[in-house]
Amino acid sequence: MPLNTTPSIFKQVCVIGLGLIGASFAQAIKDNGLSERLVAVDRHAPSITEAIEHGLLDAGSANLQDVIAGSDLIIIAVPVQAVQAVFVDIKQAIDNGQLASDCIMTDVCSTKVNIIDAAKVVFGSLPTGLVPAHPIAGAENSGYHARRASLFVNHSVIICELPTTSATAIAKLRLLWESVGANVMSMDAEHHDRILAHTSHLPHLLAFNLVEQLASHDDNLDMFRYAAGGFRDFTRIAASDPKMWHDIFFANQSAIVSALDEYGVYLQTMRQLIIDQDSTALMGLLGRAQAARRHFGHMLASTPYTDTSAMSASYNITPSNTVSGTIAIPGDKSISHRSIMLGSLATGVTNVTGFLEGEDALATLQAFRDMGVTIEGPDNGNLTIHGVGMNGLKPSKTPLYMGNSGTSMRLLSGILAAQSFDSVLTGDTSLNKRPMERVAAPLRTMGAVIQSTGHSGTAPLSITGRDTAGKPLQGTEYDMPVASAQVKSCLLLAGLWADGTTTVIQPEISRDHTERMLSAFGYPVTVEGNRISVTGGGTLTGGDIAVPADISSAAFFMVAAAISQNSELTLTQVGINPTRTGVIDILKLMNADISLSNETHVGGEPVADITIRSSNLVGIEIPEHLVPLAIDEFPVLFIAASCAQGRTVLTGAKELRVKESDRIAVMAEGLHTLGIDCTVTDDGLIIEGKGVATENGEVNNSQPVFGGGHIVSHHDHRIAMSFSVASLRASQQITIEGVETVNTSFPGFAELANQIGMSIQVDTGAE
């Protein structure tokens, strides 16, 4: 089916060279009706004859002068060393009046500077219609018979927009490429050649060289016979056209030689690590390379770390009414973040168990790898971090990509504000819309130089290093207007390098994982009521960190058991840090049947098994002092409130409006969809529960509270999981859109939910 439905862009297109790229481009132009006429030039007469017989061409010849007349676009698809001779023929056609002087000329070669130089030699000055281009596409087979009209669909095409080129020529060529399904980007010629030397030309050269090396061995037959998949994958490109690559290697000589020299340095480094049997350094190099391979793919596409199968997914949930069992919840996200940060800054080795392998925590892990920290794993929640000390971080060569993790960005802002080097923090589309001045502004009072983006003060964040600023950060006393663990932690972490003491005063208690973990790593922290202080200049010492199960993730299953019928669920070894147990306190106020057992401490954090049973929930006015202690759990608490008898009122929770989504508005929208009466306020929500009182206090959660419907999660993981829990009291199927972000905090949520009795079908949209 044609990709383009617009009228023809050109009157006559002339394709010079009917190899794979030229013939595929011609076929795509023909199939999409992008030119009134299509002609071609190729010295291989059978290709021309077949193309005419197939109806691809209106005319063709081995001689350009025979078919070129009247063409308003010329596509040069010949080996790079032959382009100058083609320019000579084109100039002759212009001089003879066969072509307009402003006809559009483009090429498909993988080098650009030499194309421009050749045009200068032939034409004297660059023609206004010259638009050098390079489609990043190809196939193992070559020639006319390998052509595919779909070759360029979803592939990048680089256009070099020259100052001498007319805007019309650029616009028409861009439209042509987009009309055959390509993604068009602009790049200057020198940068193009340098990038392609590293990403295309060097790999081809290495593949040719490796095959030549093995073929020269006396036992080459055995080598090739027993070669594994890795060899075949790596050397597949050595089957490419030797003449074409001969020309490319010479045409891009300077950039390729530079890339080879750099590669030689890295190869020599690896050789020495193997000779020295330097296990830590070699593991770090291999780990960084493996992670970078995944990371840059996700970064460029803004896709998740933990699931590459789908950009968007949905849940289709069939109502069920009972849950039961004993389950383990994944590791705490907040503690996982901090274990990476402090372990990297510590002296010595830190071993982490229970690490949450969700996208947010993996973003933090990757950031420290980008700054030179050797991290082994994660492997089933186990990590080994080889700390570099307080002053051992190195500048990242690229912006640090935080994915969708606000915790990563805000806490790292404090660390990076104190480093000697400049940094840039960026994230996916969602994160780049979230407010960052709440950390940037107080950091500036310490002397940090931070530039946020736009009038809303969002990411990307540009942070100037202390070498440029000229002096270290200065300790400060900051009175937080709103309780926030992220703001508090950001300032405390910056204070580790500041001159003097940094004190944060919080209006309400907020989660204290940073203070606890700093103490676990041997850094003195002073806590006096709501005043928390650190003095700069200390050190961190590596050790063992056990990450308990995440109470925020456990909250979904706590509510699930409480609102369903004949249910009992035990969640093992969940963190019950008193600054995080607001969800338990609120549920108990709502008459939930919750008990704790096997209480102990793990890695400085209190943990316990939590058992929750079916309950007759009642509506309450939620005490404002509990709001900061349950800020992440309110979406699922709204589900509990909907099932309760009477009204539930939440106030003092304006913070919910600046999470991954406006959680007050989005939850209210979804609750209305499912038939719940609720009223949005500036800082909270009023929910009219549909629970019914029973005689003798017996629990009867068998009647539906929610209807069915389509929920838009706005790609907020907690919204998606909360409405999943609502299915336990729904009368009809619930569909939730945009659930791929669940992996940010709870990989495996749907599978675990199904294990205890829910019925969630995940639709990835994959064919």
Q: Buried b / exposed e across 266-290, counting CB within 10 Å, b at 16+?
A: eeeeeeebeeeeeeeebbbbebbee
Per-residue 3-state assignment (H helix, E strand, C coil) for 703-726:
CCCECCEEEECCCCHHHHHHHHHH
Q: Buried b / exposed e across 221-250, counting CB within 10 Å, b at 16+?
A: eeeeeeeeeeeeeebebbebeeebbebbbe
Task: List Cβ<8 Å contacts ≥24 apart for 591-598.
Answer: 591/615, 591/616, 591/617, 591/618, 592/558, 592/562, 592/617, 592/640, 593/562, 594/558, 594/562, 598/572, 598/573
pLDDT tens-place string over residues 138-161: 766 678 888 899 999 989 999 999
Cα distances (Å, whole numbers) of residue 370 to 230, 367, 373, 428: 26, 5, 7, 18
Predicted pLDDT at 522: 96
Is the distance from CB of 375 to CB of 287 less than 8 angstroms?
Answer: yes
Query: Does domain 356-375+390-534 fall into CATH 1.10.1200.10?
Result: no
Residue 303 has pLDDT above 50, yes or no: no
Residue 294 has pLDDT above 80, yes or no: no
- C-alpha 493/C-alpha 486 separation (Å) is 10
- Residue 357: φ, ψ to 5°: -90, 50
pLDDT tens-place string over residues 609-645: 999 999 999 999 999 999 999 999 999 999 999 999 9
- The reported pTM is 0.64
For the chain, give every residue range classified as CATH 3.65.10.10.
356-375+390-534, 557-566+576-763
Compute CA 152 distance to the chain's CA centroid, rounded to the nearest angstrom: 24
Confidence of residue 216 (pLDDT cuts 50, 70, 90): confident
How many CB atoms within 10 Å of residue 306? 17
Least reliable range by pLDDT among 197-211, 242-256, 279-293, 596-610: 279-293
CATH of span 10-187: 3.40.50.720
The β-bridge relationship of strands 645-650 and 684-690 is antiparallel
For the chain, give every residue range classified as CATH 1.10.3660.10.
195-277
The DSSP-derived string for 216-266 is TSTTHHHHHHT--HHHHHHHGGGGS-HHHHHHHHHHTHHHHHHHHHHHHHH
Residue 603 has pLDDT above 80, yes or no: no
Compute CA 526 distance to the chain's CA centroid, rounded to the nearest angstrom: 37
Largest CA distance in the chain: 103
Predicted pLDDT at 227: 65
Q: Buried b / exposed e across 98-116, counting CB within 10 Å, b at 16+?
A: bbeeebbbbbbbbbbbbbb
pLDDT tens-place string over residues 100-113: 999 999 999 989 99
pLDDT tens-place string over residues 392-451: 999 998 889 888 889 999 999 999 999 999 999 998 877 888 889 999 999 999 999 999
Q: What positions carry a catalytic annotation?
A: 632
What's the rounded mean pLDDT across residues 271-292?
82
Residue spans of beta strands (DSSP E) within 102-203: 104-107, 130-131, 133-135, 156-159, 183-186
Q: Tell me the three state secondary structure of residue 755.
A: helix
Confidence of residue 6 (pLDDT cuts 50, 70, 90): low
How many CB atoms within 10 Å of residue 669? 16
Q: Tell me the three state secondary structure of residue 70.
A: coil
Q: With residue 469 as reference, give the H or E element that holds it.
A: helix 466-469
Q: Work out the percent of the chain whose per-residue pLDDT is above 90.
A: 72
Is the distance from CB of 514 to CB of 493 less than 8 angstroms?
Answer: yes
Is the distance from CB of 744 to CB of 632 less than 8 angstroms?
Answer: no
Q: Tell me the three state secondary structure of residue 540.
A: coil
Q: Buried b / exposed e across 407-424, counting CB within 10 Å, b at 16+?
A: bbbbbbbbbbbbbebbbb
Architecture (CATH level 2) of domain 557-566+576-763: Alpha-beta prism (3.65)
What's the rounded mean pLDDT across residues 150-178?
94
- C-alpha 739/C-alpha 719 separation (Å) is 9
Burial of 150 (0-12, 13-18, 19+ CB in 10 A): middle
Confidence of residue 482 (pLDDT cuts 50, 70, 90): confident
pLDDT tens-place string over residues 689-725: 999 888 777 888 999 999 999 999 998 999 999 999 9
Contact partners, residue 111, CB within 8 Å, separation at least 6 = 80, 193, 196, 248, 251, 252
Is the distance from CB of 104 to CB of 97 less than 8 angstroms?
Answer: no
How many CB atoms within 10 Å of residue 598? 11
Query: Does domain 195-277 fall into CATH 3.40.1390.10?
Result: no
- Alpha-helical runs (H) found in 496-550: 513-520
